[in-house]
Structure 1
Amino acid sequence: MKKCHIAYLACTAALIGTGLGAAPPVAAHRIHVVHPGESIQKAVDSARPGDTVLLTYGTYHESVDVSTPGLTLRGVGRGTVLEPATAAATGSTAPGTGSAAGSGAVKGSKGSKGTKAATSCAASGNGICVVGTKDHNVDDVTVASLTVRGFAKTGVYATEADGLTVRHVTAEKNGVWGIATEHSVHGLFRHNTARDNGDAGLFLANTVKEELGATDTEGTVVERNRLEGNRIGVTVRRLRNLTLAGNHLTGNCAGVFVVGDENKPKAGFVTVRENRIVRNNKSCPKTARLDALQGSGIVLTGAEDSLVTRNVIKDNVGKSPLSGGIVLFKSFVGTTSDRNRISDNLLRGNSPDLVNTDTGKGNTFEGNSCRSSKPAGLC
């Protein structure tokens, strides 16, 4: 009996030693390869957190909804192209209509199962949608190395996303925004190209559906992107704690807009540094929300405690009230810009280089290399 007991203990020890008594190992992340003509959505729906959906070279006529945390949706470069499936599937939003892209997307993410196909973000005229919910963000999604082109609303759209990365994406000729986020934090947008979109190439906002104070992005970074031929290169609307660095903006009606309004807290604590902003002289007509645009480099309106520094801003010329290299402009709802610092920028050939038509307090212009200003004396 004693011998049997000893043998049992020895056997048990051997089992534990080989790991059979331990927790099972974590499943390896998988790569789901999709070829043109196959369903991207099907691969995304079958993926688990941490998986990669890899799109091979070619054109895909499809929109995609992503809600799996940790998913990477990646092409093999600009030759991986997503375009609308049919005209009917992309909706009927006209280029430049603005907030329509977001409202349909958020509503779709909360729709009932029976109507999901008809009301989802992707089915509403957007290309790639990364959609969480108000109570549960979708975390750590990456969209990379592909082109999204010709969608009625937005090329890449995200809402309720935490830690979204968008890199090496070309978003072109989309009706509203190239790449856009709402209600999102910790974003990283790097080495993207957004061109010839109806509104902003890159659009980051708290929300376009309701009036709310600015929200904290908790350190979102927009860097080393190329924005050209859009209405506005980059719009930062009612946000705080965000950095735009090392971007190249040209051929837009306006380069960078940092926009606030009368709600609390104000937009602010935005850093705009080391960008190259040249010849943003495309002419765009007035809209319900904004005056006609032409020749604007960087515009701050209704913003506070922001830093604009070490940018190169050249040859932005136009006849809009917002024209100029760097412009502080009192918001259209009467909110002032306060305590913004404009320092150490190189400005040449803008009309004029520096503009301050704001009546806010504590705004400073120092160390800038420029030749003309309104009012005089800012250079």
Structure 2
Amino acid sequence: MTRRQITHLVCTAAVVASGLGAAAPADHRTAHQVHRVQPGESIQRAVNAARPGDTVALSPGTYHESVRITVSDLTLRGSGTRPTVIVPGPATADSTCATAGNGICVIGTRSSPVKGVTLRSLTLRGFAKNGLWATWTDGLTVHRVTAEKNGQWGIAQERSVRGVFSRNTAERNGDAGLFVANTVDREDGAQDSKGTVISHNRLVGNRIGVTVRRLRNLTVERNEATGNCAAVFVVGDEGQPRAGAMTVRRNHIHANNKLCPKTPRLPFLQGSGIVLTGTEKTLVTKNRVEDNVGTSPLSGGIVLFKSFVGAPNASNEIRDNVVLRNSTADLANRDTGGQGNTFRDNKCGVSEPAGLC
């Protein structure tokens, strides 16, 4: 190779390298980032700096603030080894989540839902309203979160699809430990949750362990509920489409005998296991429901009751459950206007009317 050829190749390489360098933007990132936060630092500041795919990792300790998440594909996680606790702090001018009394808010819109957010290994304690409040989300995952002593709901979601709530603990919250609904600010027909799953959660000492309100296409499975006034409420009404088309299976529901006073919508609650009101085509199967005792109209192991706007249950199937030592009955069909509801192959002692066991 001549000297002239060598010189030409060197110059060409330099030009190509220069061009490649110029093409890369100044803020280009080759990998997702982890934003680490220590107690005393701002979680919200780290969340605001994050981009889709990033993780905000909290060190063990206590954080005094509320956090608002509006970016998709974000993970907010605690240490997983020692407690990472979020409690109320001072509300700032831009902290709408704190102003509303919530701990963590995951907020999208109808036209642009927040997608793929994951919350894990956190404790949300002592908020005036909800530990977690989520609206307009798609694929929200909540895993190993403890929500305790919050004023209304421990973990709550509305207007959302494909949620996964697994291995969480909800304890001593003012209303439901875990609450999922179509919408909370108006009456409306049931929404297709597109396969939302509530599984392996522990629900203790709440007013209601799990409330599923006006939804379809959802699974509640392998949860434990004890010490609540009522364990599982599946709630519908006369709206269209109707609530239901879901599965409640393999849950352990025992001794939900806390006494809660009546409200404008519900009588006093005590000793309720699984209650269906105004729902259709729901399968309740292979649950163990024991020692739920009370004298409320909703007391009993597995209870069908017309909704409080008068909508009956229809075509629900209750089969292959173990339902024992509940009072006033193990199985109770108190929905006299309901049609097509079936009870079969359940192990139980007392039913209303007789003959369901």
- Secondary structure of the 2:123 match is strand
1:37 matched to 2:14? The reply is no
Structure 1 residues 319, 26: CA separation in 2 closer, same or farther (over 3 Å shift)? same
Structure 1 residues 309, 44: CA separation in 2 closer, same or farther (over 3 Å shift)? same
Give how far 1:360 is off.
Answer: 1.4
Any residues of structure 2 matched to 1:323-342 within 5 Å, and which? Answer: 323-342=299-318
Asked whether the equivalents of residues 339 and 364 of structure 1 are also in contact (C-alpha less than 8 Å), the reply is yes
1:266 matched to 2:269? The reply is no
Tell me how large the CA RMSD over aligned residues is. Answer: 2.3
- Secondary structure of the 1:204 match is strand
Asked whether the equivalents of residues 65 and 131 of structure 1 are also in contact (C-alpha less than 8 Å), the reply is yes
1:27 matched to 2:5? The reply is no
1:80 matched to 2:84? The reply is yes
* 2:290 partner letter: K
Structure 1 residues 312, 14: CA separation in 2 closer, same or farther (over 3 Å shift)? farther
Structure 1 residues 73, 141: CA separation in 2 closer, same or farther (over 3 Å shift)? same
Query: Of residues 54, 64, 74 in structure 2, which corresponds to 1:71?
Result: 74
- What residue ranges of structure 1 are gaps of 5+ in the alignment? 90-114
Superposed CA deviations along residues 125-164 of structure 1, whole A, max 9, x for unmatched, are 1000100012110000011101000000000110001000
How many Å separate the matches in 1 of 2:338 and 2:30? Answer: 57
Superposed CA deviations along residues 266-308 of structure 1, whole A, max 9, x for unmatched, are 1011110000000000000000111110000000000001000
Asked whether the equivalents of residues 242 and 270 of structure 1 are also in contact (C-alpha less than 8 Å), the reply is yes
How many Å separate the matches in 1 of 2:152 and 2:298? Answer: 21
Match of 1:356 in 2: 333
Give how far 1:121 is off.
Answer: 2.6
Asked whether the equivalents of residues 280 and 316 of structure 1 are also in contact (C-alpha less than 8 Å), the reply is yes
* 2:238 partner letter: E
- Secondary structure of the 1:43 match is helix
Asked whether the equivalents of residues 36 and 60 of structure 1 are also in contact (C-alpha less than 8 Å), the reply is yes
Any residues of structure 2 matched to 1:82-101 within 5 Å, and which? Answer: 82-86=86-90, 89=91
Percent identity over the alignment? Answer: 62
Superposed CA deviations along residues 211-261 of structure 1, whole A, max 9, x for unmatched, are 110001100000000000000000000001000110000000000000001
Match of 2:320 in 1: 344
- Secondary structure of the 1:180 match is strand
- Secondary structure of the 1:121 match is helix
Query: Of residues 215, 225, 229 in structure 2, which corresponds to 1:253?
Result: 229
* 1:54 partner letter: A
Any residues of structure 2 matched to 1:127-142 within 5 Å, and which? Answer: 127-142=103-118
Match of 1:369 in 2: 347
- What residue ranges of structure 2 are gaps of 5+ in the alignment? none
Asked whether the equivalents of residues 154 and 176 of structure 1 are also in contact (C-alpha less than 8 Å), the reply is yes
1:46 matched to 2:49? The reply is yes
Greater shift, 245-254 or 68-77, is seen at 68-77
Q: Structure 2 length normalisation: TM-score?
A: 0.92
Query: Of residues 275, 292, 295 in structure 2, which corresponds to 1:299?
Result: 275
1:226 matched to 2:229? The reply is no
Give how far 1:26 is off.
Answer: 5.8
Structure 1 residues 28, 292: CA separation in 2 closer, same or farther (over 3 Å shift)? same
Match of 1:311 in 2: 287
Match of 1:117 in 2: 94
How many Å separate the matches in 1 of 2:274 and 2:262? Answer: 18
Give how far 1:37 is off.
Answer: 0.6
Asked whether the equivalents of residues 88 and 98 of structure 2 are also in contact (C-alpha less than 8 Å), the reply is no
Give how far 1:22 is off.
Answer: 8.8
- Secondary structure of the 2:46 match is helix
How many Å separate the matches in 2 of 1:238 and 1:116? Answer: 35
Superposed CA deviations along residues 165-208 of structure 1, whole A, max 9, x for unmatched, are 00000000000000000101000000000000000000000111
Asked whether the equivalents of residues 15 and 21 of structure 1 are also in contact (C-alpha less than 8 Å), the reply is no
Give how far 1:23 is off.
Answer: 8.1
Query: Of residues 131, 138, 144 in structure 2, which corresponds to 1:168?
Result: 144
Superposed CA deviations along residues 7-30 of structure 1, whole A, max 9, x for unmatched, are 5799479959x9879988863111
* 1:35 partner letter: Q
How many Å separate the matches in 1 of 2:22 and 2:86? Answer: 48
* 1:174 partner letter: N
How many Å separate the matches in 2 of 1:19 and 1:324? Answer: 72
Q: Structure 1 length normalisation: TM-score?
A: 0.87
Match of 1:93 in 2: none
Match of 1:198 in 2: 174
How many Å separate the matches in 2 of 1:313 and 1:374? Answer: 16
Query: Of residues 56, 59, 63 in structure 2, which corresponds to 1:56?
Result: 59
Structure 1 residues 9, 238: CA separation in 2 closer, same or farther (over 3 Å shift)? farther
Match of 2:297 in 1: 321
